[in-house]
Amino acid sequence: MTGLLAGLDGGKLLRHVLGAVLITFLMTSLIVGLELVATQTGLSLRPRYHIVLYCVVVVALGSAAVFALVERSWRLPMLVGVVLAALLLVPLLTGNLDSDLAFLLPFPVAPLNWLALFLPAFILMRAGQLAYASARPPAAAARRRELSRTGKLISMGLGLLLILAAFAFPVSPWGSRQLVDILTIVLIYIMLGWGLNIVVGLAGLLDLGYVAFYAVGAYSYALLSEYFGWSFWVCLPLAGLFAASFGIVLGFPVLRLRGDYLAIVTLGFGEIIRVVLINWYEFTGGPDGIGGIPRPSFFGLPFQANAPKGGGETFASFFGLSFDPYHRIAFLYYVILVLALFTNWFTIRIRKLPIGRAWEALREDEIACRALGLNPTNVKLAAFGIGAMFAGFAGSFFAARQGFISPESFVFIESAVILSIVVLGGLGSQLGIVFSAAILIGLPEFFRELEDYRMLAFGLVMVLIMIWKPTGLVSHRDPTIRLHPRGDGR
Amino acid sequence: MEYFLQQLVNGVTLGAVYGLIAIGYSMVYGIIGMINFAHGDIFMIGAFHALIVFLILGAVGISWLPLALLIVLIVGILLTSLYGWSVERIAYRPLRSSPRLAPLISAIGASIFLQNYVQLAQGARPKPLSQMVSGGITLMESDAGFAARVSYIQIVIVLLTLALMAVFTWLIKGTALGRAQRACEQDRKMAALLGVDVDRTISLTFVIGASLAAVAGLMFTLYYGVIDFFIGFVAGIKAFTAAVLGGIGSLPGAMLGGLLIGLIEAFWSGYFSVEYKDVASFGVLVLVLIFRPTGLLGRPEIEKV
């Protein structure tokens, strides 16, 4: 027992755990403990205190483990992790979910219950890390220094490798319909993240209404194709252009606001555009949205089973292939991949141009920029407009891929998700955005059938990643150049 | 005239609810400079607490209204403020010295979590509550038969808000806690050096903000009679707009902004169109910010290099 609590203040631990238990009990007592049930006479309450008990037990074990981890002691968390894992694994492996042991598995679906292992796994991992570090601290520190030196090389190599893998994926044996579809969605968000990164990461403007420009792009293509019958490839640049002009028109009055005021105004604009889309029924179809949006073609060759009316060939017949819906999915994947890579290339290049330098300088110190003769409004407008343009591109692709859009797809939470991708990835880091988009968008896509728990975990993961790495997963926010490079003695 | 009066009454009631939520945003922004995105969801949880306690009281048989209201108020404030405290403790305190955007993302995450937590626990369907307080006073009646009425519930809401504002002003102006809070707002490091427990003060700020949101949640439940897990989002955005409109960080400003947003909404839906009422309030916000970039009662920030 003494070994278990080595380095811990037992009384403090007890107080900590008891406090957490009491607070959890009070917090969950009404909201979770009493279920509101609709009856014929109105609402009535049905108690279900076993779930409260579950919450309290999880919090008690978790808070004890976290307390010990914070105090850099690993034995207790190790034990908690092992006990939790055993409690969960026994019913999971035997499939006996009705046993008394299974009360820690709250989910109605069996595969979801495996997710419950996340908590003990995390505790075990951290405890293992601490045990390792306490055994040989100097070696680990030296290794970390070495890593940071070669970090840049590694991230470049990793980027190249990822690009190659991304191009090869659909034709590789792993490329199934479902996987390519999920990756297409992830790529849309990567592109949006890279676009927003110009505004937030480079220019340092907090934009909470980015989804508005995404909506403008999507509706531009949908409406242009509906009213004029224009094809995707004509509308794509137009959609970007529309979104950019929207960005500039909206940005003009508000860009002299600072920081959080800008945030709330952009949020307001996002909502305004959505409200207009919902209520302008004659033009946008209102909440019903727009359906039947044509899919993009491959240099005029449509992806259809049968030849289009009035002759012409389809993609399959032109290349002498048998028709396969997978062709279209893979094609859409390549379109968004190229679009996203273009965004990335553009960002990397523009960082080296005067305007990119001006963005970074403005982000670091606005007053100094003004003193040096930069016009902050113009520089910010450029960032706003260019960021909006990429959202417009992504939006028109989104409309083409879905074939149906409605204001439902452009709610505030989307803006929040895109912003989270940028910040979780590490502001200004292109590679980090790929990782965080994969975590935030890709992983939940696999768990689609677990709808409710998915978003719960999504919020929790956002909080946890931020606490774990407040500067983002891949954090380097250094300006591209410095007057006095680090390490030259100044 | 009757119609105008009716919209005025509705607007003031709505404004009182927005104002109470807006104070929470404004206080938190003033003291740690972050937008507490989860605040709207705390309000939503307050509304759920109110609904559940009402049902419990109904089941137990306490039907004398003032007593029921008092119990709901106390239990709601206690339990809801625990949520405010926990969110700060778990999601914001570890990020106190991080880059500016980190707590913001953490707050968005907390907001998503709370929303889905309530949705999971209580289902997505709207929850109706049968009307607790009915009746009202007719203020003015036109020849055409349209009557401007103040319902008792509206009177309760406005009176409760006024009482809370009085208590709250005393709390900030006259107590040691208020003094510590104002000190932290001006300079956290200096306050810490002079013996103010900064962490405790910030925690209490969240508790106070959540308590006011709980009261707003109770009022919302009584006034509209229907709540769901999503009300926090819309009310939160409106209240934050109100806080910015009044000048974020300024508490009278938050109340004033709340009133203005409530009035704009009521009059816009009364005279123009209900659909575009959100556009109207955001439009006014943009206009005000263009001409007074720090809001109506906000102090201009002095930037130093």
Residues A242 and A108 in one domain: no
pLDDT in tens, A133-168: 776 655 555 555 555 556 667 777 888 888 888 888
The minimum CA-CA distance between A154 and chain B, rounded to whole Å, is: 25
Query: Using a CB-CB distance cutoff of 8 angstroms, which residues of chain B are in contact with residue A460?
Result: 109, 113
Measured between CB atoms, which of B52, B116, B233 is closest to A452?
Answer: B116
pLDDT in tens, B61-95: 887 888 988 999 999 999 999 999 999 999 999 88
Residues A94 and A177 in one domain: no
Residues A352 and A419 in one domain: yes
Residues A419-438 have a mean pLDDT of: 85
Contact B270/B28 with Cβ under 8 angstroms? Answer: no
CATH classification of the domain holding A374: 1.10.3470
Is A140 inside a domain boundary?
A: no
Residues A127 and A166 in one domain: no
The minimum CA-CA distance between B110 and chain A, rounded to whole Å, is: 6
Query: Using a CB-CB distance cutoff of 8 angstroms, which residues of chain A are in contact with residue B95?
Result: 466-467, 470
Chain centroid, CA A93 distance in Å: 33
pLDDT in tens, B120-152: 888 888 888 877 777 777 777 777 777 778 888
Compare A117 and B228 and report the one with higher pLDDT: B228
Q: Position of tokens 């922004």?
A: B29
pLDDT in tens, B86-126: 999 999 998 888 887 888 889 989 999 999 899 888 888 88
The minimum CA-CA distance between A49 and chain B, rounded to whole Å, is: 12
Can you tell me the distance from the alpha carbon of B234 to that of A405, in angstroms, rounded to the nearest whole number?
Answer: 23
pLDDT at A242 (0 to 100): 93
Residues A301 and A409 in one domain: yes
pLDDT at B173 (0 to 100): 87
pLDDT in tens, B25-59: 998 888 888 888 899 999 999 999 999 998 898 88
Render the burial of A106-135: b for 16+ CB within 10 Å, e for the rest: beeeeebbebbbebbebbbebbeebeeeee
Residues A222 and A259 in one domain: yes
List of domains in chain B:
2-291 (1.10.3470)
Residues A300 and A423 in one domain: yes
Residues A398 and A452 in one domain: yes
Backbone angles phi, psi at A350, to 5 degrees: -70, -20
Share of chain A above pLDDT 70, in %: 82
Is A110 inside a domain boundary?
A: yes
CA angle, corner A60, sides to A54 and A63, nearest 5?
130
Residues in chain A: 490
Is A44 inside a domain boundary?
A: yes
Residues of chain A by 3-state class (helix, strand, coil), percent to 5: 70, 5, 25
Query: Using a CB-CB distance cutoff of 8 angstroms, which residues of chain A are in contact with residue B115?
Result: 455, 459
Which chain B residue lies closest to A70 (C-alpha atoms)? B94
pLDDT in tens, A164-185: 888 888 777 777 888 888 899 9
Which chain A residue lies closest to B91 (C-alpha atoms)? A463
CA angle, corner B217, sides to B212 and A52, nearest 5?
100
Number of alpha carbons in the 13 Å side-chain half-sphere of residue A351: 21
Is B82 in Cβ contact with A26 (below 8 Å)? yes
Residues A268 and A396 in one domain: yes
Can you tell me the distance from the alpha carbon of A277 to that of A286, in angstroms, rounded to the nearest whole number?
Answer: 6
Q: How many domains does chain A have?
A: 2
Domain that holds residue A195: 160-468
Compare B223 and A95 and report the one with higher pLDDT: B223
Of B12, B27, B28, the closest CA to residue B219 belongs to B12
Is A2 inside a domain boundary?
A: no
**How do strand B127-128 and strand B136-141 relate by DSSP bridges?**
unpaired
The minimum CA-CA distance between A23 and chain B, rounded to whole Å, is: 7
Is A35 in Cβ contact with B121 (below 8 Å)? yes
Is A152 inside a domain boundary?
A: no
Query: Using a CB-CB distance cutoff of 8 angstroms, which residues of chain A are in contact with residue B77?
Result: none
Is A20 inside a domain boundary?
A: yes
Count interface pairs A-B at CB distance under 8 A: 181
Is A260 in Cβ contact with B29 (below 8 Å)? yes
Can you tell me the distance from the alpha carbon of A317 to that of A319, in angstroms, rounded to the nearest whole number?
Answer: 6
Residues A117 and A195 in one domain: no
Query: Using a CB-CB distance cutoff of 8 angstroms, which residues of chain A are in contact with residue B83?
Result: 27
The minimum CA-CA distance between B225 and chain A, rounded to whole Å, is: 12
Residues A276 and A399 in one domain: yes
Residues A323 and A400 in one domain: yes
Can you tell me the distance from the alpha carbon of A180 to that of A174, in angstroms, rounded to the nearest whole number?
Answer: 9
Contact B261/B242 with Cβ under 8 angstroms? Answer: yes
Is A230 inside a domain boundary?
A: yes
Is B55 in Cβ contact with A44 (below 8 Å)? yes
